[in-house]
Structure 1
Amino acid sequence: MSNAILEDGAAKTGVGVTLSMQQALNRALDEILAENPKAVIFGEDCGQLGGVFRVTDGLQAKHGADRVFDTPLAESGILGLAAGLAMAGFHPLPEVQFDGFAYPAINQIVCQIARMNYRSRGSLPMPVTLRVPSFGGIRAPEHHGESLEALFAHVPGLKVVSPSTPHEAYHLLKYAAARPDPVIFMEPKSRYWQKGAVDLKTADAGGSAPTGAKVMREGRHLTLVAWGAMVFRCLQVADLAAEDGIDVEVLDLRWIKPIDAAALVTSVQKTRRAVVVHEAPLTSGLGAEVAQLITQGCFDTLKAPVERVTGFDVPYPAGDLEDEYIPNIDRILFGVQRVLEYRRG
């Protein structure tokens, strides 16, 4: 696929191009394949079809069926193949078609990919970048809207990242694919069609690498912490709160593991209040870890306990109920209100 095809329907801007997240990821993968002859992409329907969400569209035609290819419907086999290819010196970029389909491959991810570098004392690194279309918001059936970030983040040896915009998707994927470690790249599938400006040269301000958390909106009264699709929802909440004179800061965690504790502390020390928002269930969700890091670093300055607005402690529901499950604007605003109105007894 040529850059001309990749930019089809993408308007050029002063900082680069305007792309959807799907287009930004496609472009990043195209460049990774061109720059790294050991990079290979594979998964269910990744080759000729270009993936369910067309993220790998056209890549097989451009780079060949030995670099971009389809696999059987067997997630354990896909990730087992990734481990073997990494041991042979390749850089695998496998795709699990939907988040919930990752469960059958947990043994390969946890017991092989995450541990091999440690187990071999560095002689068998695992430069595996696993792309996982993640989270809800597309009204899909069961096992198509899971939020597995806490599960992956709990596993030693794995890094976990989730982009929130096309710009972040492009740069975070390229950065993840250059790591010598296994990275779980969680793509918010409800945002695949979101368009935005992508600076193809500069990842972050000052040209720095896309590491750690990122302030998406400055604020004074409260910090909203989120990742993936919930960042956009928190920005919507911040706009509405501003109409009532409430100045909300929005912090995109980006890297779910390792968590940028310093950025959390810096933001919340300024605002003195925090609400963590995620789609996963409440109990043992990543919000608990984030809340602890905030409490530990800001204990003397917090004006209220850290609030969590999350999914519920039930299996992900059918599509016609997901609007009740995923944190919506009203639920997040109520969380903001509870924190702002908190008074010590």
Structure 2
Amino acid sequence: MAMQETTYRDALRLALNDAMSGDDSVIILGEEVGRYGGAYGVTKDLITEFGAERVIDTPISEAAIVGAAVGAAMTGLRPVAELMYVDFIGMTMDQLANQAAKIRYMFGGQIGVPMVLRTQGGTGRSAGAQHSQSLEAYVMHTPGLRLAMPATVEDAYHLLRQSLQQPDPVVFIEHKGLYTMKGQVDPDAEPAGWGKARVLRDGTDLVIVTYSRQVHHALAAAKDLEDTHGISASVVDLRTLNPLDFDTIRPLVEASGRAMVVSEGVMTCGVAAELSARITEECFDYLEEPVIRVAGEDIPISVSPLLEQNSVPTPDLITRTARTMLS
């Protein structure tokens, strides 16, 4: 296939279609993934192509979905389980954190759990406090779980394909605000390596480390900083949080002496806290200023669009914070 323009949602569907076409062990299961086509339309029409034995509509039980996926993965299949919202991951934590994450270790490497848990998180649809959270820190905190969070159409395709080649469970979190975003993808292109971050913009004054939808906010802020204020900022898209590619971050921080970590998750005990601590520990001798976290407010997400928008980092907040760092 040649380079094509598509949406984030359709790139995910294409990745699933291609994986299922090439490997009969790949199955999909979850609430309304079959006839309805998935809560956000990612699995639309896949049941027509692959049948109800491989695209399985389940009861409304997140624990059952993930538990069935764990068992299927242990017995030779490669399941893709879908949770409508990452907010429901708490109901799967025994199956996910106590079973999937630990089975390879508990069985001495004799068996693994090669499954993918697809879900979505983040703000942007006024879905309220129980459907708008960014809970990736739950996953990042659990040894044994891999964590991918694509920011681009290209990575929506390639990271999902790579996730389906891993020997261990991968939690794959899509941002609900990106499904209709358009971009270019070439399914036949050599993708960036699994677990490798990408430097999307080079700069000399500041490094902005981020992931998922905040990549786009950071890029917008970096352009404004350079065009309006003469500040040159690098932007790093982590792509995966486990594995975490610190080797890409380190030389950029050492060269600029300033780092900002941007995350839509909450400030306290979040991903930004871990990243800022690690940058401080490993790059301390090179830092001109303390590492700054720009993260979500420690509050439930409001259903009000204005309150929702301003409870997480915005391009303007990133810009103002960068100007303060360099003032």
Q: Is 1:274–1:339's contact at 8 Å kept on the other side of the alignment? A: no
In the alignment, structure 1 segments of 5+ residues that lack a partner are 4-14
Q: Say whether residues 1:216 and 2:203 are aligned partners.
A: no
**Deviation of residue 297 (structure 1)?**
2.3
1:318 to partner: Cα distance: 2.1
For residues 302 and 230 of structure 2, what CA distance do their matches in structure 1 show? 36
Equivalence map 1:26-41=2 (5 Å): 26-41=13-28
Deviates more, 1:59-68 or 1:270-279: 270-279
Number of aligned residues: 325
Q: Could you state the TM-score of these two structures normalised by the residue count of structure 1?
A: 0.91
Q: Is the 8 A contact 2:123 2:309 kept in 1?
A: no
Rounded to whole Å, the distance in 1 between the matches of 2:273 and 2:243 is 15
- Matched ranges for 1:211-250 at <5 A: 211-243=195-227, 244-250=229-235
After superposition, give the CA deviation of every residue in 1:133-169 in whole Å (9 maximum; x if it has no partner): 1111121123211111111011010011100000011
For residues 137-156 of structure 1, what are the structure 2 equivalents within 5 Å? Answer: 137-156=124-143
Gaps of 5+ in 2: none
SS of alignment partner, residue 200 of structure 1: coil
What is the aligned partner in structure 1 of residue 35 from structure 2?
48
Match of 1:333 among 298, 308, 319: 319
1:22 paired to 2:9? yes
Counterpart of 2:193, as a letter, is: A
Moved over 3 A (4+): none
Partner of 2:298: 313
SS of structure 1 residue aligned to 2:207: strand
Query: Which amino acid in the other structure matches residue 339 of structure 1?
Result: M
Q: How does 1:127-206 map to 2 (within 5 A)?
A: 127-204=114-191
% identity of equivalent residues: 35
**Deviations 1:283-327, CA, capped at 9 Å, x for gaps:** 111111111221222211111100011111112222432112011
Equivalent residue for 2:284? Answer: 299
Contact residue 205 and residue 258 of structure 2 kept, 8 A? yes
Correspondent of 1:285 among 267, 270, 290: 270
Aligned to 1:7: none
Q: Which residue of 2 aligns with 1:258?
A: 243
Whole-Å separation in 1 of the counterparts to 2:7 and 2:270: 29
> 1:55-134 alignment to 2 at 5 Å?
55-134=42-121
CA deviations over 1:2-42 (Å, ceiling 9, x no partner): x9xxxxxxxxxxx6101110010000000111111111101
Q: Distance in 2 between matches of 1:252 and 1:30?
A: 26
Distance 1:284 1:176 in 2: 26
Residue 270 of structure 1: how far off its partner (Å): 2.0
Q: Deviations over 1:220-260 (max 9, x none)?
A: 11111110000001001011111121111100011111211
Output the TM-score relative to the length of structure 2.
0.96
Residue by residue, what CA displacement relative to the aligned partner does 1:162-206 show, whole Å, maximum 9, x if unpaired? 0000001100000011001000001011011110111222244xx
State the superposition RMSD in angstroms: 1.3
Q: Distance in 1 between matches of 2:143 and 2:195?
A: 19
Q: Distance in 2 between matches of 1:293 and 1:260?
A: 12
